[in-house]
Every structure is written in structure tokens, then in C-alpha cells.
A and B are shown apart, each in its own frame.
Chain A
């Protein structure tokens, strides 16, 4: 490699001569991929935020088996967890768009005529359904003693929910929730099927524009991997912080090395005392 060549020139000659993958096209269009990543993140996290807020009251109603409400919510979660997300998005986008009554209603412009809104509504309802169900499980798993203790302290049902039951249920649901976040991110590729330029949409745009096979998909894949890496890392930190009390304590297992280490530590300690 000639050191006087710029990085771009190197990329050009490398792509032309050595590599089956055209890096120049990827490099030239990186900006679009970042825009696509923004759309993907926006769709994913907005759906998760709104879906999560909807899920909390629904999960409480389910966990406490409120008459009428609980079976109705069960029907909703069953429908949305039991059908593919792609079908749900198509129903909102192509399905509703067919009817003239819908096209003339106040919901059409600017909501249902817009692919972004169709996708965000479907994603939100989908993630809300999943979150409701595992949050319900987490609430139901609250140890009876915790509730009793809260009652004994004279907490009202609302305070009990706010200070004891929900915070602990969130903790228990945290590992499951990290899966839900990643699934929602993976599911967000469906946005590209209804013309949105999310990460996969940009990948497909690049492939379509330059008649390529891999470049667009590979680049999108790298972006998804980076995002998943960040999400997993964030959840790892959160679990360390909020589930710290569940980690096995660093106690010593009987064994000579350990005992020796403890003796050494004790020695050190007693020296300090002296």
C-alpha cells in the first residue's frame, strides 16, 4: 500500500481489485445508513416507550383478575402475541387503506395515510401486548410477605403498588424485557416493507439502486449488531444495578487456596489493627 494514497483511494482500488464487496458504494452512502439507523431507533424506542406505558395498567388489571377488564385484555394480548407483526403492519397499512370510509375519515390524514404512523401504531400495540403478559407474570410473582409487610406499615393500596409491588415487578421483569427490546428492534425491519427508509430500507435502497446482492444487507447488519451490542450492554449495567441483591455473594468455597487467602487477609487486617 502506497502511504501517499488517501484512505478513499485505497478503498477504491481495494474494492475494484481484491474484494467482492464494493466498499466505495457503502462508504459513499454511510450518511444514508445513519439516517436509516435514526429511523429504526426512533420507531423501536418510541414503540417501546408508549407500549410500556400502556402495558403497566393493563398488566395490573390482568394480575388482579379484574372482572371483564382482564378477559378483554387477554383477548387483545392473545391476538397481538399470536399473530405475526408483519400481518399486523399490513392490516394497518394496506388493509385499512382500502376502505373509502377510512380514507374519508379524520384518521386518514395525517395518521393512517402515513406509513410512519401505521408502523408505529402496529409496533406499539404489539410490544404493549407482550410487555403486558410478562409484567403480569412478574406482578403475580410478588412474594406474599412483601405485600403483608407493606400493609402492616399502613400503606394504602396505591402506595403499596407504587413503592413495593411495581418496583419489584420491574426488577423481576428486567431480563425478559431486554429480550423484548431486541425483538422489537429486529421486528422494526418490517417498516421497510411499507416504504419507510429504516436501516433495512436503506440497505435495500442501495441494493436496488446499484443492483447489488450483499452490500446493503451487510452494512445494515453491522449497524443492527452495533445497536444490539449497546442495548445488551445497557441492560447488563441495569441488571447489575437493580438486581445486585440477587447475584451470588462472593463467598469463599472451602479450599486451601481460599483459606490461605483469607488467612493472609486476616493477617493483614490484624496488622492494621495493631
Chain B
């Protein structure tokens, strides 16, 4: 093979590859992988969890081929806007702030959030009472918004993954952390690592920051939002949702 032929062959190869990528009607879904039981990575590198199962069920319902794209949490929306994928199924709450950047489907579940601290710890949860207390949350979450608004004097620490938050809570670098109650239970409190820790106070009540449930984010103006909402309704109706739900939770997390 001459050099010219080799170059030509590789050029053709690249072109067909690009054409293949462009023509496929694959729906790319952005997911996380460090938020059990909603999403986690198995030892062999595959993804699993409630979000993952829901995403695959929706694809099946919509008759679309899907590809899961992993993305760290704080780059989730930017990567959607940059067209790294077309939809986010990653336990993302529907909030006013986010709606400025992306569109959402109807919610696919709703669970409250709650603080976690050392068992028996008592903190006065007011702006003054939390002064200089070290509170850990995942960077770029609705919880960051809530803590900054409600406890401006606290020493807020932002983390890349929820697993790092728990690690530092155990290490004693944090006084408390805030996240989704189900995730806190299954990902931490019910594990060996979470022994000696407990919920602190009641469910956080802050619809402005925490939003109105967990939805699927798509780019602004993308009609995918409507299709996804319909698919969510369909899997709610035909029992697929319930099957997935029961695999992970004792209660129906769809909410009202």
C-alpha cells in the first residue's frame, strides 16, 4: 500500500465513522455514577441504579436507541448545552434557576432533603446557630442554593461527588451534610460507613431552591421534553415504573 492509498483509506474510514455517528438516531442520555441508589458504578464499570433503569425504560417506551453518557455532577447542565448528550436523567430537581438554562420534562420522582450529622448532635438550625459550622454539599446542587440562602454564615464546603461528602463527614471534617433523604439512607446511613450518624431536624422546606420534584432536563426549546413527559406517564400507567421503584425502594417515590 502506498502512502497515498493509506491516507485515502484512513480518510474514507474517518468519513464513514462520522457519517455513522450523524445518521444514527441515538438518544444520548447524561447520567452520573456516584449517587447510589439512583446511580452507581458496578465493579465491572457498568452503571446501575434507579435513574439508569428509568432512563432505559423511557428509551424502550419511546422506541429510541439510547446511549448513556457519564458526566460529573457540576458539569451536567453545561455538557447538555454543549450537546455532549440530549437529556439528563440524574436526579436533577426542577428549579427556577435551572429553568433559565434548560427545559424540563414532568417530574419522575419527588423526595425531600434532610441534614445528616453525628448521632445525638444538636444544632440550632438558624442563621446565627450555624455560624462557622462546616456544612458539606455536592457542588452545583439545589442544596448549595438552600444552604447559601438559609445559612449564609455557615462554612459551606462544596464537593465534586456525594461520596466525597460522606468521606469527609466520617473523617470529621464536616459537622453536617445535606442531601436527598433516600440517597442519604441507602448511600450512607444504612451502610457500615454511616454508623453513628443520623438525620438532623425535619425535611427541608424550601421550594424556591429545592424545586418541585426531579425531572429530565433537555436543551431549551427541545420538543424531547414533551415526549419524555408522555413516556413517564406511560411507564407509570403500565407498571414498569412500579417494578423499577420496588427494586430499590419500599415506598413509591413518585410522590403526589
Using CB atoms and an 8 Å cutoff, list the residues of chain A in contact with chain B. 94, 97-98, 103, 108, 113-115, 193, 195, 201, 204-205, 207-214
Chain A residues with CB under 8 A of B136 = 195
Q: Does B18 contact A (CB under 8 A)?
A: no
Chain A residues with CB under 8 A of B145 = 209
**With A103-B172, A113-B171 as contacts: A208 and B158 at CB distance below 8 Å:** yes
Contact between chains at B168 and A97 (CB < 8 Å): yes
Contact between chains at A210 and B97 (CB < 8 Å): yes
Contact between chains at A209 and B144 (CB < 8 Å): yes
Instruction: Give, as a whole number of angstroms, the nearest-CB distance from A117 to chain B.
Output: 11
**With A113-B173, A115-B173 as contacts: A208 and B139 at CB distance below 8 Å:** yes
Contact between chains at A211 and B98 (CB < 8 Å): yes
Contact between chains at A211 and B140 (CB < 8 Å): yes
Contact between chains at A94 and B167 (CB < 8 Å): yes
Contact between chains at B172 and A208 (CB < 8 Å): no
Give 13 new A-B contacts, CB below 8 A, not counting A208-B139, A208-B144, A209-B145: A94-B164, A98-B167, A108-B172, A113-B173, A114-B173, A195-B159, A204-B74, A204-B139, A207-B74, A211-B78, A211-B100, A211-B101, A211-B102
Contact between chains at B171 and A103 (CB < 8 Å): yes
Instruction: Give, as a whole number of angstroms, the nearest-CB distance from A5 to chain B.
Output: 23
Q: Does B157 contact A (CB under 8 A)?
A: yes
In the bound complex, what is the Cα–Cα distance between A213 and B136 (angstroms)? 23
Q: How many residues of B contact A (CB 8 A)?
A: 27
Chain A residues with CB under 8 A of B97 = 210-211
Contact between chains at B160 and A207 (CB < 8 Å): no
Contact between chains at B173 and A207 (CB < 8 Å): no
Instruction: Give, as a whole number of angstroms, the nearest-CB distance from A69 to chain B.
Output: 35
**With A195-B158, A208-B74 as contacts: A97 and B171 at CB distance below 8 Å:** yes
Instruction: Give, as a whole number of angstroms, the nearest-CB distance from A148 to chain B.
Output: 57
Contact between chains at B158 and A205 (CB < 8 Å): yes
Chain B residues with CB under 8 A of A210 = 97
Contact between chains at B157 and A195 (CB < 8 Å): yes
In the bound complex, what is the Cα–Cα distance between A197 and B82 (angstroms)? 26
Encoded as 1 (CB less than 8 Å from any A CB) or 0, chain B from 69 to 95 comes to: 000001001100110000000000000
In the bound complex, what is the Cα–Cα distance between A76 and B78 (angstroms)? 41
Chain A residues with CB under 8 A of B81 = 213
Chain B residues with CB under 8 A of A209 = 140, 144-145, 148
Contact between chains at A208 and B140 (CB < 8 Å): yes
Nearest 5 A/B pairs, CB to CB? A208-B140, A213-B78, A97-B171, A195-B157, A208-B139
Instruction: Give, as a whole number of angstroms, the nearest-CB distance from A235 to chain B.
Output: 34
Encoded as 1 (CB less than 8 Å from any A CB) or 0, chain B from 142 to 171 comes to: 001100100000000111100010011001
Chain A residues with CB under 8 A of B101 = 211-212
Contact between chains at A211 and B77 (CB < 8 Å): yes
Closest residue of chain A to B165 (Cβ to Cβ) is A195
Within 8 A of A (CB), among B121-148: 136, 139-141, 144-145, 148
Specify which of A113, A115, A208 lies most central, judged by the most chain B CB atoms within 10 Å of its CB: A208
Chain A residues with CB under 8 A of B139 = 204-205, 208
Chain B residues with CB under 8 A of A213 = 77-78, 81-82
Chain A residues with CB under 8 A of B102 = 211
Chain A residues with CB under 8 A of B173 = 97, 113-115
Chain A residues with CB under 8 A of B168 = 97, 195
Encoded as 1 (CB less than 8 Å from any A CB) or 0, chain B from 19 to 57 comes to: 000000000000000000000000000000000000000
* CB < 8 Å neighbour of B160 from A97, A115, A193, A214: A193
In the bound complex, what is the Cα–Cα distance between A236 and B101 (angstroms)? 45
In the bound complex, what is the Cα–Cα distance between A73 and B69 (angstroms)? 45
* CB < 8 Å neighbour of B171 from A98, A193, A195, A208: A98
Closest residue of chain A to B92 (Cβ to Cβ) is A211
In the bound complex, what is the Cα–Cα distance between A108 and B168 (angstroms)? 13
Chain A residues with CB under 8 A of B171 = 97-98, 103, 113
Could you list some 25 contacts between A and B, CB below 8 A? A97-B167, A97-B171, A98-B167, A98-B171, A103-B172, A108-B172, A113-B173, A193-B160, A195-B158, A195-B168, A201-B158, A204-B158, A205-B158, A207-B78, A207-B140, A208-B141, A208-B158, A209-B144, A211-B97, A211-B98, A211-B100, A211-B101, A213-B78, A213-B81, A213-B82
